[in-house]
Amino acid sequence: MKISKLLEEDKITLSFEVFPPKRAESFDAVKNASETIASFHPDFMSVTYGAGGSTAGFTAELAAELKKDTGVPVLPHLTCVGSSKEHVDHMVETYVNEQIDNIMVLRGDLPSDGIVEHDFEHASDLIAYIKEKTDLCIGGACYPEGHVESRNKNMDLKYLKAKVDAGCDFLTTQMFFDNNIFYNFLYRAREAGINVPILAGIMPITNAKQLARSVALSGTNVPERFRAIVDTFADHPAAMKQAGIVYASEQIIDLIANGVKHIHVYSMNKPDVAEGILNNLSEIIR
């Protein structure tokens, strides 16, 4: 099922993200965890694409098997980084043959030496290429706090509008820990003429290292309230996990209370985290 159709329905959607393994020997463990998450009946599941195309085969295989075995709609990711036109043609053909209707198109993070051999510079270039060739529903990324490389938020929005105009059917945000940043971004995006559905990306933080890593990569603001939680529970793994699930659940409840209908949870292959959030929302979402 096309995600764009799902998002047209008058209902709240909740989706989960998983990432594929780096090595074949871990495939079954990742697949089992993903299928457990799928058994909670999310509206769809996304499968990320390893940096530089390192997991191309596993992304496709995991997405195809998830769809076949669980019936949950899937959204495999693909990046410009590491992708020649021939590679994109091959991946797209694979998804069409597997009757997968959606693809998330990203630029990918640049390698540290900044040298990349690829045919597509920006996500919008790859989106336009795929749109011309196929009928896939295309998702793209957006950044409520601005992308780390962007000179300012207005430039970022200008390029985001170009990305949508290139054929992006919906957007998913990078994680944020302060909902007001998301509400402000939503207002500015609509003012800029960006009218596709925007899914709020929520990352449950279940350990302090995960927070440090995520923030270093993305530059996401950590509000004092959340920093105090992490500082207090960092050395107590079970308490940190519980607090992280509750914080993410509260963010989601506040989003829904403010009219946001589409939530994407970065569940990081952790069924217990996905389940914890769903339990906290059991009367709210279903």
Task: Restricting to residues 6-25, name those near ligand FAD by CB under 6 A.
Answer: none
Cα 259 to its chain centre, rounded Å, is: 20
Q: By CB under 6 A, is residue 198 in contact with ligand FAD?
A: no
Degrees to nearest 5, angle at CA 16 with 110 and 50:
25
Q: By CB under 6 A, is residue 49 in contact with ligand FAD?
A: yes
Binding residues for ligand FAD, total number by CB under 6 A: 23
Nearer to ligand FAD, 107 or 262 (CB): 107
Q: Which residues pair with 138 in a beta bridge?
A: 103
Task: Specify the length of the chain in residues.
Answer: 286
Task: Restricting to residues 54-93, name those near ligand FAD by CB under 6 A.
Answer: 77, 79
**Minimal distance, residue 239 CB to ligand FAD, in Å:** 29
Q: By CB under 6 A, is residue 48 in contact with ligand FAD?
A: yes
Q: Give dist(CA 130, CA 217) in Å, integer.
A: 28
**Minimal distance, residue 242 CB to ligand FAD, in Å:** 26
Q: By CB under 6 A, is residue 163 in contact with ligand FAD?
A: yes
Q: By CB under 6 A, is residue 109 in contact with ligand FAD?
A: yes
Q: Give dist(CA 118, CA 111) in Å, integer.
A: 12
Nearer to ligand FAD, 179 or 229 (CB): 179
Q: Give dist(CA 247, CA 261) in Å, integer.
A: 18
In angstroms, what is the C-alpha Rg of the chain?
18
SS3 of 125, please? Answer: helix
Contact (CB, 8 A) for 59 and 22:
no
Q: By CB under 6 A, is residue 124 in contact with ligand FAD?
A: yes
**Minimal distance, residue 144 CB to ligand FAD, in Å:** 10
Q: By CB under 6 A, is residue 189 in contact with ligand FAD?
A: no
Phi, psi (5° rounding) for residue 139?
A: -105, 155
Task: Restricting to residues 212-271, name those near ligand FAD by CB under 6 A.
Answer: none
Give the max Cα distance, the chain: 52
- The site for ligand FAD (CB under 6 A) is made up of 48-49, 51, 77, 79, 106-109, 122-124, 141, 147, 149-150, 156, 159, 162-163, 172, 174, 201
